[in-house]
Amino acid sequence: MINWKVHTYATLPSTQDYVKELVEEGLPEGIVVQALMQTKGHGRHGRKWESPMGNLYMSVLLRPNCAVEEAGQISFVASLAVSDTIDKYIAKGHDKSLKWPNDVLIDGKKVSGIIMEKEADGYALGFGVNIMSAPEDAIALQDVWTGQVAVHPFRDTLLEEFGKLYALWQKNGFELIRKRWLEQAHGVNKSITVNLANKKIDGTFRTIDGHGTLMLEEESGKEIAITSGDVYFSD
């Protein structure tokens, strides 16, 4: 298992950008950069990620032993790890689910986002988890947690859970991760709209394939493979 080396900073523009620089510099797998606040936190599709004090902002440096086409599977490993970590804290009666490709939802609202970016010959995997506060329409763990909320114990548990699942994935491949992800997936067999860069597609969310690609069935019965885009559920 990876021996994580955690570096915590009071403020950084973005832990993700910082880890990408470290990848370029040739640093090894297992470096973790955490910031208590970010001034230029960003999410997928170049969106801003609000980063006030009290939430988890962390990026890890990875050098997986896999083909570039398989590396996207790691973001599913990461969302499962966040999900397993949340299980240790969430109070009963709340509904947790995974939204393609890598959001974690509680009661249908986003509690965590994940971003996986390639840089030179390695990857930066970024985790944002709303612990104390969340933007409008999102949710924080504080809202559903019975005990005391703290960022650092959550970070350590998440690294442990991610380390276990990442090792399992490196050894056995994607199938078990895929199966576990689908068991918790939001909206399987439900109607969804996928917003691609230049068009919208409506259909039924059937499954994810062996690469993490979303398989959408159009009304005509035609199957469409979606590799990137935003997904909206109609119910």
**Which residues make up the interface to ligand BTN (CB under 6 A)?**
14-16, 38, 41-44, 47, 49, 57-59, 103, 113-115, 126-128
Query: Among residues 122 and 126, whose Cβ is nearest to ligand BTN?
Result: 126
Quote the least distance from Cβ 190 to ligand BTN, whole Å.
21
| Closer by beta carbon to ligand BTN, 49 or else 169 | 49
Q: Which CB sits closer to ligand BTN, 16 or 83?
A: 16
- Which of 8, 229, 13 lies closest to 101, judged by CA? 229
Q: C-beta of 23: minimal distance to ligand BTN in Å? A: 14
Q: Please enumerate in sequence order all residues whose Cβ is within 8 A of that of 178, keeping only pairs 6 or more positions apart, or say none.
A: 76, 208, 210, 212
Residue (43 or 163) nearer to ligand BTN, CB: 43
Q: Considering the complex, what minimum distance in angstroms separates the CB of residue 36 from ligand BTN?
A: 11
Q: Which sign, positive or negative, has the C-alpha torsion 56, 59, 64, 70?
A: positive
Structure letter (DSSP) for residue 91? P
CB of 219 to ligand BTN, least distance (A): 29
Q: For residue 93, what are the CA distances in angstroms to 72, 108, 115, 146?
A: 32, 13, 29, 12
Cα-only R_g, the chain: 17
